[in-house]
Structure 1
Amino acid sequence: MTPRKRTGRCAALLLTAALATGALTGCRPLADAASASCEDTGSRVDALKSYDVLDSRPPGTIVPQGFEDLQAGCWEDSGEAWLYADRTYVFPGDKAEVIQYYEAAAEREGWKPSKATRQALKENRSASLCFTRGKTDDATTLDVYFLTKEILDAEETKTGPDFDAGFGYRVAVNSTADGSAASCSD
């Protein structure tokens, strides 16, 4: 399988991080504020891969062909580096079942829903979910999001027939490479 290009959701995370970095650094030039790189991040990537929620999934979930392996690593773009570990699944049921499942799984592991996620859950909307660890680990986020054609096209990902059995979604644990605070883009 060809490695996916880390765009789409990752680009949105980067834009959010860039804007937040400017605000938090008193508007220092972005090049000065965003100087993290992927060098020596292997142990932190391994830590992201260890989160149980990545292997947790609702009964009936399919691991699609070509997505059997946990994807993990570090990517750099525009001077900012991000660590990720994610899994891609296909679920043949209703999106609400996936949302309910991961809401409970995240809570069991100590993740707290973002403001936007709390609102979406309250309104019973099918939405992407984003969780943080709070003060325990303010550099890591958990995202559960549904894959769209645009995301898959941006990643240059080819999907097989497993995706015809339901809808694709991804469970991703992300972190800043330098360990600085990260948050969900509410």
Structure 2
Amino acid sequence: MILGVVIALATMICLALLAGSAWLLFYGSEGACEENPALERMEQIAAAAPAAANGATVVAERSGAECRDDSGDPWMTADTVYAHDGDAPPLITHYWDTAAKEGWKAGGTRNEAPDRFRNVDGICFRKDIAGEPALLRVRSLGADELMVSVESALDGSKMPC
């Protein structure tokens, strides 16, 4: 009888630990975006985007910043969508050169940039902002729009380019 009670208690403890781990994995970070460090980080990454290319104009209704903390790994992104004249090579040159001048390190080569610009992942750069890793992505959204995004994980972990 004692053995049955011990087994039942051990089973309940294991199930409780499993449930607690699952809660932390999926919901434990919920609310992290509303805390002061997240708000400060959001300001830092939003300010880190390079200056717009000549002739590019902000599409305000499609631009903004958000923090997501519903997946277990809180991260934030500041996206700016620009309308442009549709000529990609000057845009690629502008962002490649500007990013390098501002300390961003490319996640590929300059020769790969035109193909990456048209890819969903975009041209990707890395740099630390206020001591934490961040990514800069520049990509085409079609013939006359591009998106410039600065992304960072809230916990300071590196994100893949």
Same fold (TM over 0.5): yes
Matched, 1:122 2:111: yes
Q: 1:94 to 1:176 in 2, by over 3 A?
A: same
User: What stretches of structure 2 of length at least 5 have no aligned partner?
Assistant: 1-21, 117-121
Superposition deviation, residue 33 in structure 1:
9.8
TM-score (norm 1): 0.60
TM-score (norm 2): 0.68
The corresponding residue for 1:58 is 53
User: What stretches of structure 1 of length at least 5 have no aligned partner?
Assistant: 1-28, 149-165
CA separation in 2, counterparts of 1:143 and 1:90? 16
Q: Percent identity?
A: 28
The corresponding residue for 1:112 is 105
Q: Which of 138, 141, 144 is the matching residue for 1:167?
A: 144
Q: 1:64 to 1:81 in 2, by over 3 A?
A: same
Matched, 1:96 2:89: yes
- Alignment of structure 1 residues 10-89 onto 2, 5 Å: 32=25, 36=29, 37-40=32-35, 41-53=38-50, 56-64=51-59, 66-67=61-62, 71-89=64-82
CA offset digits 1:89-144 (Å, max 9, x no partner)? 01104112111110001001100001xx31xx225633221000169855210011
CA contact (8 A) 2:26 2:71 kept: no
In the alignment of these two chains, the number of paired residues is 131
The corresponding residue for 2:154 is 177
Determine helix, strand or coil for the equivalent of 1:122: helix
